Amino acid sequence: MLSLSVLLGVFLTSQAAALPSPSINTADYGSSSIIRRDVCIIGGGSSGTYAAIGLRDKGKSVAVIEKQSVLGGHTNTYTDPNNGTKVDYGVVVFGNTSIVTSYFGRFNIPLTSGTGSFATNATIFNVDFRTGEIVPGYVAENPTAAFTAYAAQLAKYPYLSEPGWNLPDPVPADLLIPFEDFVSKYEIGAAVQIINQYAQGFGDILTIPTVYLLKYFNRPVLVGAQTAFLTTARRDNSEIYEKARAELGSMSHQTNRHPPETEISITEDVFLDSTVLATSRNANGVRVVVRTPQGVKLVLAKKLLISIPPKLSNFKGFDLSTTERGLFSQFTNGGYYTGLLRNTGIPDNILVNNIGADTPYNLPAVPGSYAFSPTLVPGLKDLKVGTPTAISDAEVKALVVAEIERLKTAGTITTATAPEFVAYNSHTPYELRVSADAIEAGFYKELNALQGHKSTWWTGAAFDKHASGEIWAFTAGLLPAIAA
């Protein structure tokens, strides 16, 4: 019998759930197009790459399918063509945990304490980006007492600082109320601005069930915000993915498990610029049809690990079960977009912060940019844009240009130049979540029960949170079962 949580989703996708599973016949593929692996990994972002390295360490062969031209997911690094300076404009910091230090240490990448910000000595302009005008008299509240009260509430829910979503039944009522009500109830308003700075990409955090904010801004983040996080000493967070890619491409597939005619080039442990066309899964293994730059390939594997966001739009051609469709159809998400700008007219020593003149807790209105921040490269500004729902890249860029134009019109900055995007990435869909009713009905218990079904495991931020170290910890917990 399907649970109430699954039935909520099945009701929304009853027609889609009836789609037939694709049929994949190995006889349709020549030997040079068949790839045999212990594990096929769909998605080469943070969790997928970590899993690939971990499984290789356990002696398992892998095939990583990644739609982008590089590994790393939300890790974006720009190299200035003039002096080679690196600027991380996606993932910028990591929690100070043993899994983070050991993973970077494995690749001989030095870490250092830091916030990832280069605005330490910058002058801050607090501006409402809707008008372009400086918000008169705005002074950030002292958050000390509010964070003390927040920490006291967070201590009630230690499972929110552990890997995965392991909620009790019943779920505590305070975790299900809108975050705005939680803030008011426990008088933590002075902490909301800082929490929102960390929860970029969530949309309007005040309307979201409290459990998502407490899970994201959990104890490790609270400690990091009060002390320091870790970042790479060479200011190049993409280095770990470049080194992982090199290592994954170094394994020879000369094994006794696979006949010689099915072996492929040692450079094809990772399939970049590749997309999944179809899957067929059962308890005995999986078949995955992949379009690669070298043509269509068939991956035959004992296990499948899926690390892409579990939105139905990502699963065209997948043989999803009724339960999987019912769960994934309930996810909604925010939009998050990152980039680097030139010709903004904002001096290098100025950080322009988006402050709502008349919003609750002076939170920046969304959709909108959170700030235009200095970087190590003169004339280059970092930007992060949040939206309550996904919008197109063209709409994001138009929004940013309009904000800068309003800064000019209001006289906050003076320049005749037009802003130029020198780097840009979409991290959407971002922060997948479901309704409070679905959480109360046992959504995450049903989601966790998917692990291992039809030889398939699941990882990524939707199964934990948007934080590299914690995603790695969650993924590490899956590897023994996948490698068994």
The closest of 231, 221, 228 to 191, measured between CA atoms, is 221
pLDDT band of residue 118 (cuts 50, 70, 90) is low
Q: What is the mean pLDDT of residues 209-233?
A: 94
What does the pLDDT read at residue 268?
74
Question: What contacts 209, CB < 8 A, 6 or more positions away?
Answer: 175, 176, 177, 178, 179, 433, 435, 436, 439
Is residue 11's pLDDT more than 50? no
Q: What is the mean pLDDT of residues 172-196?
A: 98
Q: Residues 34, 296: contact at Cβ < 8 Å? A: no
Q: What is the mean pLDDT of residues 466-480?
A: 98
What does the pLDDT read at residue 414?
86
Write the DSSP string, 354-410: E--SSSGGGPPPSSEEEEEEE-SSTT-EEEEEEESS---HHHHHHHHHHHHHHHHHT
- CA angle in degrees (0–180, nearest 5) for 144-148-154: 135
The closest of 368, 454, 463, 452 to 406, measured between CA atoms, is 368
Q: What would the pLDDT profile of 330-383 be if each residue is shown by its tens digit?
A: 999 999 999 999 999 999 999 999 999 999 999 999 999 999 999 999 999 999
What does the pLDDT read at residue 259?
40
Which tokens is 102 given? 């050991």
Q: What is the mean pLDDT of residues 424-436?
A: 98
What does the pLDDT read at residue 221?
93
- CA angle in degrees (0–180, nearest 5) for 11-14-19: 155
Q: What is the mean pLDDT of residues 386-400?
A: 98
What does the pLDDT read at residue 23?
80
Q: What is the mean pLDDT of residues 243-249?
A: 94
Collapsing DSSP states into helix, strand and coil, what is residue 297?
Answer: strand
The closest of 202, 230, 196, 252 to 364, measured between CA atoms, is 196
Tally of residues, the chain: 484
Q: Which residue has the higher pLDDT, 251 or 438?
A: 438
Is the model's pTM score more than 0.75?
A: yes
What does the pLDDT read at residue 109?
98
Which tokens is 103 given? 């993973």
Other C-beta atoms within 10 Å of 385: how many?
A: 27
What does the pLDDT read at residue 226?
84
Longest dimension (CA), the chain: 74
> d(Cα 483, Cα 465) in Å, to the nearest integer?
24
Mean pLDDT, the chain, rounded, equals: 92
pLDDT band of residue 5 (cuts 50, 70, 90) is low
CA distances from 338 to 61, 144, 208 (A): 34, 30, 22
Q: Residues 470, 460: contact at Cβ < 8 Å? A: no
Is residue 144's pLDDT more than 60? yes
pLDDT above 90: percentage of residues in the chain: 87
Is residue 6's pLDDT more than 60? no
Segment holding 443, helix H or strand E: helix 443-448
Q: What would the pLDDT profile of 247-304 be if each residue is shown by its tens digit?
A: 998 543 433 333 433 444 434 799 999 999 999 999 999 999 999 999 999 999 999 9
> d(Cα 140, Cα 62) in Å, to the nearest integer?
50
Question: What contacts 408, CB < 8 A, 6 or more positions away?
Answer: 132, 345, 414, 415
Contacts 24+ apart (CB under 8 A), 311-314: 311/429, 311/432, 312/13, 312/16
Four-residue CA torsion sign, 144, 209, 386, 66: positive
Task: Classify residue 209 by its DSSP letter.
Answer: B
What does the pLDDT read at residue 318?
98
